[in-house]
């Protein structure tokens, strides 16, 4: 699974002009399930997201996790993270999971996040035309890929 984490002061997702998910300070996580990804990879991705120390401590060093600071999570599906641009000017998305498998893994990740993270967990809408608004804090943007075991 591939994700892009953005430390935010606030973020929201709109679909057809309506806010479907929003958070205050925390992490916006764009998530892409790729072919062959498993629930075990989603679990490992979530564990990393929750424990990644990218928030400032009292000395201003990135030494605290989203859980340490009580931040929110905004999980947004984004299959375009699987883009392969090596073959020309039009990206290929053949490495992305099928829509059915992508939604299954995204829904699983959201369910696990809500169980593991007592703070707010908001979402976008799978396969919708979404507008994502954010105030990137830092800016801090970190790509994170969790490969299959082995």
Domain count, the chain: 1
What is the average pLDDT across 117-123?
96
- pLDDT-derived band at 120, boundaries 50, 70, 90: very high
141 catalytic, yes or no?
no
Q: Which domain holds residue 113?
A: 2-145
The backbone torsions φ and ψ at residue 125, rounded to the nearest 5 degrees and listed phi first, read: -125, 120
Q: What does the alpha-carbon distance between residue 64 and residue 129 come to, in Å, rounded to a whole number?
A: 33
Output the pLDDT for position 112. 98
How buried is 27 (Cβ within 10 angstroms: 0-12 exposed, 13-18 middle, 19+ buried)?
buried
- pLDDT-derived band at 148, boundaries 50, 70, 90: confident
Residue 15: give its domain's CATH number: 3.50.80.10
User: Would you say residue 41 lies in a domain?
Assistant: yes
- Which tens digits make up the pLDDT trace of 54-99? 999 999 999 999 999 999 999 999 999 999 999 999 999 999 999 9
- pLDDT-derived band at 147, boundaries 50, 70, 90: confident
User: Would you say residue 18 lies in a domain?
Assistant: yes
Out of 40, 80, 111, 131, which one is annotated catalytic? 80
Question: Is the pLDDT reported for residue 105 higher than 70?
Answer: yes
User: Would you say residue 8 lies in a domain?
Assistant: yes
Question: Is the pLDDT reported for residue 35 higher than 70?
Answer: yes
User: Would you say residue 113 lies in a domain?
Assistant: yes
**In angstroms, what CA-CA distances link 51 with 66, 71, 82, 127?**
7, 12, 24, 28
Cβ neighbours, 10 Å, residue 76: 24
Mean pLDDT of the chain: 96
Out of 6, 41, 55, 79, which one is annotated catalytic? 79
User: Would you say residue 150 lies in a domain?
Assistant: no
Q: Which residues pair with 23 in a beta bridge?
A: 11
Question: Is the pLDDT reported for residue 149 higher than 80?
Answer: no
- pTM for the full predicted model: 0.96
94 catalytic, yes or no?
no
Q: What does the alpha-carbon distance between residue 138 and residue 90 come to, in Å, rounded to a whole number?
A: 31
Out of 6, 41, 55, 78, which one is annotated catalytic? 78
What is the average pLDDT across 8-33?
98
41 catalytic, yes or no?
no
User: Would you say residue 40 lies in a domain?
Assistant: yes
């Amino acid at each position: 699974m591939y994700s892009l984490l953005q430390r935010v002061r606030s973020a929201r997702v709109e679909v057809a002009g309506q806010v479907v998910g929003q958070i205050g300070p925390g992490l916006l996580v764009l998530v892409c399930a790729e072919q062959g990804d498993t629930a075990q990879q989603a679990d490992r991705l979530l564990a990393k997201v929750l424990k990644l120390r990218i928030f400032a401590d009292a000395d201003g060093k990135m030494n605290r996790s989203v859980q340490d600071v009580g931040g929110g999570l905004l999980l947004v599906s984004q299959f375009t993270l699987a883009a392969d641009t090596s073959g020309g000017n039009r990206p290929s998305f053949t490495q992305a999971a099928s829509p059915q498998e992508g939604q299954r893994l995204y829904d699983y990740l959201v369910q696990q996040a809500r169980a593991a993270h007592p703070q707010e967990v908001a979402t976008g809408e799978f396969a919708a035309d979404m507008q994502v608004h954010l105030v990137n804090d830092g800016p801090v943007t970190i790509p994170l890929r969790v490969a299959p075991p082995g």
